[in-house]
Amino acid sequence: MKVLVIGSGGREHALVWKIAQSPLVTEVFCAPGNAGIAGLATCVAIKVDDVDGLLAFAQQQQVGLTVVGPELPLTLGLVDRFREAGLTVFGATRAAALIEGSKSFSKDLMAKYGVPTAGYGTFTDRDRAVAFIEQQGAPIVVKADGLAAGKGVILAATVEEAIAAVESILCDGAFGSAGARVVIEEFLEGEEASFLAFTDGERIVPLASSQDHKAAYDGDTGPNTGGMGAYSPAPVVSQEIHDKIIEQVLKPTIAGMAAEGRSYSSILYAGVMIKEGELKVLEFNARFGDPETQPLLVRLKSDLVPVLLACARGDLSGIELEWHDKAAVCVVMAAGGYPGDYVKGQVIEGLDAAAGIEDVVVFHAGTTVQNDEIVTAGGRVLGVTGLGTTVAEAIDRAYQGVKAIRWQDVHYRSDIGRKALNR
């Protein structure tokens, strides 16, 4: 079977890496891919938002399974278009992807179906938003309603910061049309975890637990990013918490989506805040997390392709996942300045040395080839993933890989996985 993976990030490199190992697969394409993916798949120069181009390519190549990585093509209805053309595609429909595409929709859904989440208000008017902030006080969270590549969330420590965030998003258009509406939420304390599960609209097949590191700098300081690293398993997700997430979050959410005429059959990602045995949902994503996918797929023992096919066909009965009992840690190496302005085209050295370290896999994100050299081409450049018998050992492996790689102004956090050690 031929498989097409859509996207160009670390998540897509991990998906291609895992899919290429399946005995069911004869050839893998990736659109548009990156310099690392090119070693495993045929990269095709079609953008993720070119739904017509992607559909024509899949038909021409007789692709047996298409796997959608990023959120944008989901919200553009790519899955609907492929299915109308009779193609097998893994991903959420346009209607279902609204759970990520609109934070206000997601919050209203949770409120309606009793899913625990932070108190909130939704606003299109600056003065009403400011009045709400002044009434609630700080710290408080301001979010752009639409898709903002993981950067549309501002944790405001003061009322003044929150008002400035509202003005930046609503009035100054910091996130374009994604910021035509803002969601303002109570600030939640605790420890965050990522919980991903496959669903066919009824059945739920959970993945192993993981934890992302959103903030740019050590100690969870600095601006929010798309993710600076992740590890799996996450000790904060005890068996009790695991069961609560299934019962209190996933089941009512999936049932609620069906009741709203938005049946959900794909991977569902719940970002949850956990404190003293209780949990609240921070956000939902309608796709695999990035960088959580990297450590999760390195730990996954099962063939991924039958799971993706079962999900795409809407029937997960009989599907179970088997995991390596090792831990995995992914450290994101980013361009200096990310998530703000950064320089592209820096030559990356040491990739072969890092790849030669036992139990280290280097996933590419923002990379391309220029003059026969691999250079930086994005904010998050690499996801160096280490495997170990413990989280501590996996951290050591990952940072061994990180230290073998260099380019000008490289930036990465030095504390990925430390919360697991503290437990």
For the cut 80, the answer to whether the pLDDT of residue 366 exceeds it is: yes
Prediction pTM value: 0.95
Q: Please report which helix (H) or strand (E) contains residue 279, including its range.
A: strand 278-285
For the cut 80, the answer to whether the pLDDT of residue 150 exceeds it is: no
CA torsion, ordered 47, 50, 56, 59, to nearest 10 deg? 70
Distance CA 65, CA 73 (A): 16
* Structural domains present in the chain: 2-93 (3.40.50.20), 123-180 (3.30.1490.20), 191-312 (3.30.470.20), 327-422 (3.90.600.10)
DSSP string over 111-162: HHHT--B--EEEES-HHHHHHHHHHH-SSEEEEESS--TT--EEEESSHHHH
pLDDT of residue 149: 72
DSSP annotation of 225 reads: -
**Tokens found for residue 163:** 């008002």
The pLDDT tens digits of the residues spanning 245-258 come to 999 999 999 999 99
The pLDDT tens digits of the residues spanning 241-297 come to 999 999 999 999 999 999 999 999 999 999 999 999 999 999 999 999 999 999 999
Q: Residue 121 carries which side chain, given as an amino acid letter? A: G
Q: Residue 152 carries which side chain, given as an amino acid letter? A: G
The pLDDT tens digits of the residues spanning 77-136 come to 999 999 999 999 999 999 999 999 999 999 999 999 999 999 999 999 999 999 999 999
Beta pairing partners, 199: 204, 266
Mean pLDDT of the chain: 96
Distance CA 209, CA 292 (A): 9
DSSP string over 349-411: B-HHHHHTSTTEEEEESSEEEETTEEEE-SSEEEEEEEEESSHHHHHHHHHHHHHH-B-TTEE
Q: Please report which helix (H) or strand (E) contains residue 5, including its range.
A: strand 2-7
Percent of the chain with pLDDT over 70: 100
Distance CA 181, CA 203 (A): 33
For the cut 90, the answer to whether the pLDDT of residue 10 exceeds it is: yes
> Which of 237, 236, 255 has its CA nearest to residue 245?
237
User: Scanning the structure block, which residue is given the tokens 């070119």?
Assistant: 50
Q: How far is CA 293 from CA 78, 142, 155, 230, in A?
A: 21, 26, 25, 9
**Sign of torsion over alpha carbons 254, 260, 266, 268:** negative
Beta pairing partners, 122: 183
The pLDDT tens digits of the residues spanning 45-77 come to 999 999 999 999 999 999 999 999 999 999 999
CA angle 385, 249, 257 (to 5 degrees): 105
